[in-house]
Chains A and B, each alone.
Chain A
Amino acid sequence: MTSLTNAIDGQLPFLRRIFRRIFQREYFVYYALIAVVLFFSAVLADTAFFSLANFMNIIRQTTPITLMAIGMTFALAVGHIDLSVGSVVALSALVCALVLDITYWPIAVAAGLAVGILTGLVNSILTEWLRVSSLLVTLGTMGIVAGLARVLTNLESIPITNDTFTTIFGSGSFASISVMFVWTAIALIIGWIALSKTRFGAHLLAVGGNPSAARAFGINVIKVRMTAMIIAGTTASIAGLLYAGRLHGARYSLGEADLLTVIAAVAIGGTSLFGGRASVTGAVVGSWLMGIINNGLILWGFSTNEQIIARGLILIVAVAIGVKEDRK
């Protein structure tokens, strides 16, 4: 064989192969998590940072972000992005809170979820129909949905007094384990199976990796992309319900600041921002990483401004690693 094929013909030097395996992008988020935990444990040795209670706390308060990150993973897997998730959070929570006032909670939940499903549907129809990037379409729907959330209640907050709802969506616990853990676990398992174990997941990634090849192989590319966008909208809706359940009320400003956190979490978790490569477990661990950094900075005495900067930096680092990997 010529030198061209030699390099990839299974004759990589042993050490290089080991190196490549250890420093795979998929593992990066775990190393980052360990590094950050070690760092804060050292710096914040005199605080409650390294305690089970604090870690439970972090996972619990990060749950809405975790769910949005899982949904965003699906959108990114097909090569799309959904910028409207933050405003879907607010509108879903408000719609659910308003419907809760007039009828049974399952109907209110369905109404809240309908917001995300419809937004996802509209996002994907516009993307496919206008053939413009989902970035632009969802930038538009982000504004529209946020505007609707503001108009809907004239910026007033809506209290939620339904105990069943608040117990299920965020405030309850099973044997001293917060219901938020249950939500995280369910979303992680379903998301992981769907993306990594099923034909549906394979098609998602194929569409994201090379849409024309996927089309040539007979995959209904449009349908796959639409499903992914609807999943992203739906998880944002669930996140909205969890915020509402946790705060016993809904407000137009819920989720407003979450978009950057979600994208950073997904990117650091090993999902490509350009499609075809996605990891649900990475997104979940990525969201925890973002939560730990937030928590550590708070305990360290930094203000929210520094946290916003940290989020931006993480996104850039994650994207830089990802782009480097994709160019290989």
Chain B
Amino acid sequence: MPKPRTTRSLLATSLFIGLFSSASAGPLQDVDLTKAPVGPNGNPAVSASEITLSPDEIAQLKTQNYKAALVWHASGDWVNAVTAGAKSKFEELGIEVVATTDAQFDSARQASDVENVLALTPDIILTLVVDPVSGAATFQPAIDKGTKLVLLSNPISGYQANDQYTGIVTDDMYGMGSAAAEMMSDALGGKGSIGFIYHDADYFITNNRDNAFRSAIKEKHSGLEIVAEKGFTEEGQTFELTSAMVLQNPDISGIYVAWDVAAEGVIGALRAQGRQDIKVITHDLGQNNALDMIKGGSMYGTIADRPFEIGQAMASLGAYGLLGKESPAFSVVGFDKVVKENIAKTWEKSLHRPLPAKLEEALN
């Protein structure tokens, strides 16, 4: 999941306002969990496991010496895992990855990245578009050249699947939010007061996950009650938020926080307050919190998506485009509920890397 990065993310996320009015209208909305989130043009979500290529198709691709470019919005662990997934799939298909770029959440930078990359005449571009509005102009030169575009999470306004782009691949955001609620219920034995620390900015993925958690608690877990809600825009702010929240609501026994890096401040604050009895649930994987979890600290568990699989699915969708195959417009990949007991397995499954030595050590 792309992690918004503090101030720069403020700029980027502010651009998203109003774009997902049908799918999500920002933080603190109730969502209907019985329906999976639909794509930007009402396309139903399809499991990414349905994206497959036959041996004949692969053989056909291998003869063409196709090239691909990865035009990312940012960099970091998560993006690295997507890149690794895409590269492994491309290698299987005999497609060469000629460039990887990082726009650092700057849409203007992404536009120049596209221009630069086009000089290498890629046949496929995989991207997470920073600004869905200006993205239409940014990627037009690529479309004009017949480049197949595959999108991660964010749609581009005015673009249609199987027309300007082949398809969108994203996390199962509602599923993740609901799973976080289930995990909270497990952690607290089905009963207790919860603090809810959400991402207070219009950002498709985090909003959907936060809202799904909130709705799932209300609808499916009657023993749990959200007694305090605090929003943040900067990851660094969660320390102060948590200190204030716990002081004001000492009866809280669990805290949900939007994603891993933001959870570090929550855990630090609970430690400083001597409130390690409070269980923390979040999304995504990170070493610091994983270590706290292994050592039996506040961190109870996290819902980890599978960026490696996202990368693989995107690469396959690119191949669909080259083969002229009809693509699913909106595909979602699965997730895992990560707790102390299964961290070693799930870490590898999610990030396709072995568990870091420090965590390995702490486990033994």
- Check whether chain A touches chain B (CB < 8 angstroms): yes
- Show the binding face of A for B, using Cβ within 8 Å: 47-48, 51, 53-54, 57, 60-61, 101, 154-159, 161, 170-171, 178, 246-249, 251, 253-254, 256-258, 294-295, 298-299, 303-305, 307
Known: A257-B6, A303-B231, A304-B234. A155 touches B75 (CB 8 A): yes
Q: Which of B10, B243, B358 contacts A161 (CB 8 A)?
A: B358
CB neighbours of A298 from chain B (8 A): 230, 240-241, 244
Q: Which of A170, A248, A258 contacts B288 (CB 8 A)?
A: A248
CB neighbours of B2 from chain A (8 A): none
Contact B288 A249 (CB under 8 A): yes
* A203→B346 CA distance, assembly (Å): 60
* B1-17 CB contacts (< 8 Å) to partner A: 5-7, 10
Per DSSP, are chain A's interface residues mostly helix, strand or loop, or mixed? mixed
Counting chain B CB atoms within 10 Å of each CB, which of A57, A159, A248 scores highest?
A159
Known contacts A246-B272, A251-B264, A257-B6; 12 additional CB pairs below 8 A are A51-B247, A57-B273, A158-B287, A161-B358, A171-B272, A246-B239, A247-B264, A248-B288, A248-B291, A253-B261, A256-B6, A257-B236
Contact B248 A299 (CB under 8 A): yes
* A298→B7 CA distance, assembly (Å): 18
* A154→B356 CA distance, assembly (Å): 14
Contact B231 A161 (CB under 8 A): no
Known: A298-B230, A304-B200. A256 touches B244 (CB 8 A): no
**Can you name the residue of chain A whose Cβ is closest to the Cβ of B104?**
A150
A-B contact pairs, 13 of them (CB 8 A): A53-B247, A155-B77, A157-B287, A157-B288, A178-B272, A246-B272, A247-B288, A248-B271, A248-B291, A249-B264, A253-B5, A253-B235, A303-B200
* B316-362 CB contacts (< 8 Å) to partner A: 358, 362
Residue-wise, chain B 69-83 has the 8 Å CB interface mask toward A (1 for contact) of: 000000111001000
Residue-wise, chain B 198-212 has the 8 Å CB interface mask toward A (1 for contact) of: 001000000000000
Q: Which of B230, B240, B286, B292 contacts A294 (CB 8 A)?
A: B240
Q: Which of A101, A246, A295 contacts B268 (CB 8 A)?
A: A246
* A257→B268 CA distance, assembly (Å): 18
B20 at the interface (CB under 8 A from A): no
Contact B268 A159 (CB under 8 A): no
**Can you name the residue of chain A whose Cβ is closest to the Cβ of B10?**
A305
CB neighbours of A60 from chain B (8 A): 272
**In the complex, the 5 A-B pairs of residues with the closest C-beta atoms, listed nearest first:** A249-B288, A155-B76, A247-B268, A159-B291, A298-B244
Per DSSP, are chain B's interface residues mostly helix, strand or loop, or mixed? helix
Residue-wise, chain B 248-276 has the 8 Å CB interface mask toward A (1 for contact) of: 10000000000001001101110111000
CB neighbours of B24 from chain A (8 A): none
Contact A159 B287 (CB under 8 A): yes
- Determine how close the nearest CB of chain B comes to the CB of A16; give it in whole angstroms: 42
- Determine how close the nearest CB of chain A comes to the CB of B51; give it in whole angstroms: 29
Contact B244 A303 (CB under 8 A): no
- Determine how close the nearest CB of chain A comes to the CB of B11; give it in whole angstroms: 12
CB neighbours of A54 from chain B (8 A): 244, 247
Q: Which of A53, A61, A159, A249 contacts B239 (CB 8 A)?
A: A61
- Determine how close the nearest CB of chain A comes to the CB of B195; give it in whole angstroms: 12
Contact A159 B76 (CB under 8 A): no
Contact A157 B272 (CB under 8 A): no
CB neighbours of A170 from chain B (8 A): 272
Contact A248 B268 (CB under 8 A): yes
Contact A61 B243 (CB under 8 A): yes
Contact A249 B240 (CB under 8 A): no
Known: A251-B264, A253-B235, A304-B232. A156 touches B6 (CB 8 A): no
Contact B244 A299 (CB under 8 A): yes
Q: Which of B77, B230, B236 contacts A254 (CB 8 A)?
A: B236
* A304→B75 CA distance, assembly (Å): 24
* A246→B272 CA distance, assembly (Å): 7
Q: Which of B7, B248, B272, B288 contacts A159 (CB 8 A)?
A: B288
CB neighbours of B239 from chain A (8 A): 61, 246-247
* A280→B104 CA distance, assembly (Å): 37
B222 at the interface (CB under 8 A from A): no
Known: A157-B286, A298-B241. A257 touches B234 (CB 8 A): yes
**Can you name the residue of chain B whose Cβ is closest to the Cβ of A305?**
B233
B237 at the interface (CB under 8 A from A): yes
* A48→B248 CA distance, assembly (Å): 6
* A61→B272 CA distance, assembly (Å): 9
- Determine how close the nearest CB of chain B comes to the CB of A161; give it in whole angstroms: 7
CB neighbours of A61 from chain B (8 A): 239-240, 243, 269, 272
- Determine how close the nearest CB of chain A comes to the CB of B117; give it in whole angstroms: 22
- Determine how close the nearest CB of chain A comes to the CB of B260; give it in whole angstroms: 9
* A161→B5 CA distance, assembly (Å): 25
* A158→B291 CA distance, assembly (Å): 10
* A149→B18 CA distance, assembly (Å): 35
**Can you name the residue of chain A whose Cβ is closest to the Cβ of B297?**
A248
- Determine how close the nearest CB of chain B comes to the CB of A18; give it in whole angstroms: 40
**Can you name the residue of chain A whose Cβ is closest to the Cβ of B264?**
A247
- Determine how close the nearest CB of chain B comes to the CB of A48; give it in whole angstroms: 5
Contact B237 A304 (CB under 8 A): yes
- Determine how close the nearest CB of chain B comes to the CB of A7; give it in whole angstroms: 48
Contact A157 B264 (CB under 8 A): yes
**Can you name the residue of chain A whose Cβ is closest to the Cβ of B358?**
A159
Q: Which of A51, A101, A303 contacts B233 (CB 8 A)?
A: A303
- Determine how close the nearest CB of chain B comes to the CB of A178; give it in whole angstroms: 7
**Can you name the residue of chain A whose Cβ is closest to the Cβ of B288?**
A249
Contact B240 A257 (CB under 8 A): no
